[in-house]
Structure 1
Amino acid sequence: MPWKDNYTTSDEIGIFDEAIQWPAGQQMGFGLTVNLNPAATAKGITEKDLAYPTWHFGMTEGLNAFLDLFARTGVKATFAVPAVIADGYLDAMKRILDGGHEIAAQGLFGEDPNTLEAGQEAAHIAQATDILTRVCGAAPKGWFSLSRPDDRFATGAVTDETIALLKAQGYAYFGNGLADDAPYWWVTDFEKSEALLTLPYYYHFDDTFFLMFPRAGVGLERLEPIKRNWRREFQAQYRRGRYFNMCVSPARAGWGHRFTALSEFLTEAVSHPGVWAETGSTLAAHWQANYPSEETLNLAPSIWVDYEDSLS
């Protein structure tokens, strides 16, 4: 279908439950993404974004609480970080890495590349990669374009060129895809069968859309629905032996009763035997080794016909 170009495999056949195997007989893959992007709009981080008290709390008490919780539960998280944030909070980045967690890229300024001039996206990706390589001592393996409530596209902040640019830059995976509930290959060139591994993500498990929604400061939150979503989806994916991802921010879920809810859920989740709660790069490496695109992509021409009056 035209609206799924560069979005998923053209035959749209996902992997069956019985075909999924995790290391050492583990039951399921568990990915926890921590969003360290304070940007309020698609243009990316501004001075105003960094002045909010909630942001300062998130990078101090909130981050401390997150790291302590992850150490307690044995969860290895993936921190999706705009390059300018990584460069401005070097001590925090060191603490994240020292805890065994991963720092992945989330743009140069946490921006939506659709706001950039033609040709700028590649330059921003390259600059962000250089900054994170310097800060972390190694090139980032994952790239995230986490969604905001007003994003134009379901996949968050991406363009038609994003995935191919990331592949050319040497990234191992894209961190937030909506086409499947197990890792899958996002095709960038149909004729050459070129693709980039993509890890699942869904809005229903992202605290951005439930805590202080739609904008920080309006006094709205929906903690009970996101707790329900986390628990029910985890249980479903655990039973099937597939993959579960949740996304949280210390500025939103790092304090008070919100943190209590997060702590209770993570503690409950990892108490299940066989929950492989690892970083995105570790999960991606397992999938690439066991389900390489050369063997699992079965590309076939689309049967879609785009008629003259079609809405697509």
Structure 2
Amino acid sequence: MATQRMIVTLTVNLQGSVIENSVGPETEDTLFGKKSYGKYLAHPGTDRILAMLDRLGVKATFFVPGREALDDPDLVRRIAAKGHEIAAHGYAHEAYDGKPEEAALLRQTHEILKSFAGTAPLGWRAPVGLLAPETLTALQQLGYLYDSSNQDDDLPYSLAADGAPNMVELPQNEMLFDETHYSRRATHTRLLAWWREEFHAMHAERCFATITVSPRSDYGSGRASRIAVLERFLAEVGGYEDVALMTCAEAARLHYSTIQHE
């Protein structure tokens, strides 16, 4: 992205009970606490993230599985009503490896999110980081503008070589995931130090940065003490005069407008 500004996006993976359900089949005799981490996502996890974003005046991109949207449509509506972007994150935490039924599943999730958010999603993220050329072809046919699944570059790039000339890749960075650190039981102080170190290095080279968090209570940022860490970090990032915080759709559009004027 040929710009002097550093572009930063905050993305929220809204994976709640789909994580627990992907481990095994849902049955009537399921233990009561099985989904407790995922159930925390909606209330109070996402509520805390939304309140924090209001305080900072930041708009984020929420990647939502279709199953989660069906289970809690009001949550999707509340997020969209606050001006945040709703993007697709698979249906129920499945892998996308070019299976014949994939296109129908992508369309199903697309229509679910469109009906609850009021606008069609423009972005997609693979639930488990896997996607095939057929996946991108199906997404492009549905009108998607970008994918944000890969970690293979420091800047956005065209997906033309992968069969989707009208789409752009917005790469992630695992070091800027909350899950990477909290799943290893990192302390708040250590996570903040890691994030600062990574961000400062990326800022020096004007890399594109995607910060990825979850409202879950196990490895996510939904708990009160963890929200405080995230808010502190985002406030520091937003304090740079040459840093622009934006949604993924805005970043993808900026990428296209920049290359068109080169």
Among candidates 257, 280, 295, match of residue 248 of structure 2: 280
Residues 129-168 of structure 1: matches in 2 within 5 Å? Answer: 129-147=110-128, 156-168=129-141
Q: 2:160 aligns with which of 180, 187, 190?
A: 187
Change (3 A) 1:83 1:46: farther
Q: Provide the residue aligned with 1:32 in structure 2.
A: 10
CA contact (8 A) 1:30 1:275 kept: yes
Counterparts of 2:239 and 2:74, CA distance in 1 = 31
The aligned amino acid for 2:59 is: K
Matched, 1:237 2:215: no
1:227–1:130 CA distance, 2 compared to 1 (3 A): same
Instruction: Indicate the RMSD between aligned Cα atoms, in angstroms.
Output: 2.7
User: 1:237: how far off?
Assistant: 2.7
Q: Distance in 2 between matches of 1:165 and 1:40?
A: 24
**Preserved contact between residue 66 and residue 109 of structure 2 (Cα < 8 Å):** yes
Q: Following the alignment from structure 1 to structure 2, what is the Cα–Cα distance between the partners of residues 42 and 209?
A: 21
Quote the residue 2:106 is aligned against: 125
Query: CA 1:120 to 1:44, structure 2 compared with 1: closer, same or farther past 3 Å?
Result: farther
| 1:223–1:258 contact (8 Å) kept in structure 2 | yes
Tell me, yes or no, if the aligned pair for 1:63 and 1:250 is still in contact at 8 Å: yes
For each residue in 1:255-291, what CA deviation from the matched residue of structure 2 results, as whole angstroms up to 9, or x when unmatched? 1432221121111111222321111111111111112
**Partner in structure 2 of residue 198 of structure 1:** 169
Q: Kindly tell me: are residues 50 and 266 of structure 1, through their superposed partners in 2, closer, same or farther at Cα, counting changes over 3 Å? A: farther
- Cα 1:88–1:32 change in 2 (3 A) is same
Q: Is the 8 A contact 1:210 1:223 kept in 2?
A: no
1:38-77 mapped onto 2 (5 Å cutoff): 38=16, 39-40=18-19, 43=22, 47=26, 52-77=35-60
Q: CA deviation at 1:222?
A: 5.3
Task: List structure 1 runs of 4+ shifted beyond 6 angstroms.
Answer: none
SS in 2 for 1:40: helix
Distance in 1 (CA, whole Å) between partners of 2:103 and 2:200 is: 40
Structure 2 residue aligned with 1:253: 221
Q: Cα distance, 1:241 vs. partner?
A: 2.9
Paired residue secondary structure (1:250): coil
Cα deviation for residue 235 of structure 1 reads 1.7
- DSSP-derived class of the 2:160 partner: strand
1:210-229 alignment, distance < 5 Å: 210-213=181-184, 220-221=185-186, 223-229=188-194
Which residue of the other structure, out of 76, 98, 102, is the alignment partner of 1:93?
Answer: 76
Scaled by the length of structure 1, the TM-score of the pair is: 0.73
The number of aligned residues is: 254
In structure 2, the CA distance between the partners of 1:64 and 1:268, relative to structure 1 (3 Å rule), is: same
AA in 2 matched with 1:270: G
Distance between the aligned counterparts of 1:44 and 1:142, measured in 2? 26
* Secondary structure of the corresponding residue to residue 130 of structure 2: coil
Partner Cα distance (2:253, 2:151) in 1? 20
Secondary structure class of the residue paired with 2:11: strand
Establish whether residue 173 from structure 1 lines up as the match of residue 146 from structure 2: yes
With the length of structure 2 as denominator, give the TM-score of the two structures. Answer: 0.86
Q: What SS does the corresponding residue of 1:200 show, helix, strand or coil? A: coil
| Counterpart contact for 2:173–2:209, Cα < 8 Å | no
| Matched AA of 2:159 | W
| Alpha-carbon distance in 2 for matches of 1:183, 1:45 | 36
Letter in structure 2 aligned against 1:226:
L
SS at match of 1:176: coil
Q: 1:45/1:208 Cα in 2 relative to 1: closer, same or farther (>3 Å)?
A: farther
Select 1:209's aligned residue among 156, 180, 200. 180
